[in-house]
Structure 1
């Protein structure tokens, strides 16, 4: 299974997994990223960290900023 990840600074990586079932949090762990500092988009829509991914999915990692 291949998953493409578009990183916060515009970099793109492709991750390959032997398992057919991979969840978004596994991608975050592999990349040392943590919620709630980011939002994950899958194919353009926000997803929860336990979302199951499929071969060919494209994830985008977006920083969350708050302020006043």
Structure 2
């Protein structure tokens, strides 16, 4: 996967128990978002906690926010 990433791309992970720092080290990548959804997201009633590395730009943050709201996050 690492060889497929450009520096402009953002990696978003939903892997439980895997720290964003670990993902960045393994992929040698800096633009990272980590999402922790809960089960009710499947019926658009969920809440997703998420965080992003400082390298993620504002338009990408807004896109992720909009995408997560589509799964019921308020």
Q: In proportion to residue count, which structure has more helix?
A: 2
Q: Which has the higher strand share?
A: 1
The structure with more radius of gyration: 2
Report the TM-score, using the length of structure 1 for normalisation: 0.29
Larger RCO of the pair (alpha carbons < 8 Å, separation 6+): 1
